[in-house]
Structures are given as C-alpha cells and as structure tokens.
Amino acid sequence: MTTVATTDFIHVFEEGSEASRAPLLLLHGTGGDERDLLPLGRMVAPGASLLSPRGKVLEGAMPRFFRRLAEGVFDEADLVRRTHELADFIVESRKRYDLPAPVALGFSNGANIAASLLLLRPEVLAGAALVRAMSPFKSESPFANAPKADLAKADLAGKPVLVLSGALDPIIPAEDAARLVRTLTANGAVVDHRTLPTGHGLSQADVGLLSGWLDQL
C-alpha cells in the first residue's frame, strides 16, 4: 500500500492481485479521508486495485470533495471546478499506476462528486456505485450552471451505475435521489436503483449489494 502526497490529492494506492477486476476509485464522505473506504473496497471487490484520494476542501476540520452552502445546498461553481480537478487526477493516476478506467465507489459527498464526474467527465470512469447520493445539480439538466465547454450531453451509453438509497435517510429526500436516477438514465447510463430500509449510514445490505453488483462487471 502506498500513501502519496502530490500537488493534486493526498491519496492511497493499493495495487490489486486480480488484473481482471476493474480498479475502484474510493470517494469518502464528509469528514472521511483517503483510508476511510479502504476496508469496504477490499471487502466488496477482493483483489481489485484501490485508488483513494482525500477531498481537498475543508469544512471546519472535515475533508470534502467540494463546498456546500448549507445541508443539501451545493456551491455548484465549486463543484464543477472540483469535478474537473478530480477527473484530471484520475487521468494522471491511470498513467502513474498503469490502470484501466476505474469504477467509482462513493459514499455521500463522495457519491455526489462521482455523479458529477459521470455527467461532466464521463470518459474517466468505467461505471459508478453511488451510496446515499443526491442530484449534484439543482436542474434536471446538469449543465444549466456549467461552463460552456460542458454544455454537451454526457455520453453515458451503456455505462453501469448502481444507486443505493436509504428509505429512512434524513438527509436525502427520495425525490432527489429519483431525480439523479432520471438524469443518469436520460444520458444513457444503465442504472440499478435500490432503496434499502436504512438511514444515511452504510449497512450490511449495502455491502452485499455492492459486492454482487461489482462481481457482475
């Protein structure tokens, strides 16, 4: 396991033992770090290479991947900028570690920026598992507030996406998660959306569904 501090992201890279498995890009939630999701990654995708960056934005002392103005209200200009920054890091990491395109596994804030990656820089991901994600953009069109360069429709044709929502989640309204699913589907992704009888935190049911879904890729 290698911990690397670069001018881009502090991150951990763990080389896998199964070349047939897609590498995982692990994206932590608010307050997590580059080691937060490593045990989950090892559990749900044994043998896969793991690339896990730390979010560069601080909310108090808590790392995040982009700024928010309030609970559930995102700074969309910062989100767009941070999405491209993370996408460039993925491109550089693929060269550095000789990796194919990774599948993102994001939780909460990490799932939200993974969704933004799919919509703004779809070429950098082979797919994504979004755990407790909400729509990263207020508009049904994710490009409403994006720079002109991002106005083209995202090409997600056939790209696999798993969305795991919590029926008892106090943070993410069901309609918000449904709107994200509609947006991804409208852009061509093959979306499997599951709503579990749980809250915002990870559950054993999430682990089982993630493992089964990743095994099929």
What are the respective helix, strand and coil percentages of the chain, to the nearest 5?
35, 25, 45
Distance from C-alpha of 13 to C-alpha of 52, rounded to nearest angstrom: 6
Pairing of strands 190-196, 160-166: parallel
Helix residue spans in 121-200 (DSSP H): 174-186
Question: Could you tell me the maximum CA-CA distance found in the chain, to the nearest angstrom?
Answer: 42
Task: Return the SS3 of 163.
Answer: strand
Catalytic residues: 108, 169, 200
Task: Return the SS3 of 106.
Answer: strand
Neighbours of 148 (CB within 10 A): 7
* Structural element, H or E, at residue 64: strand 62-64
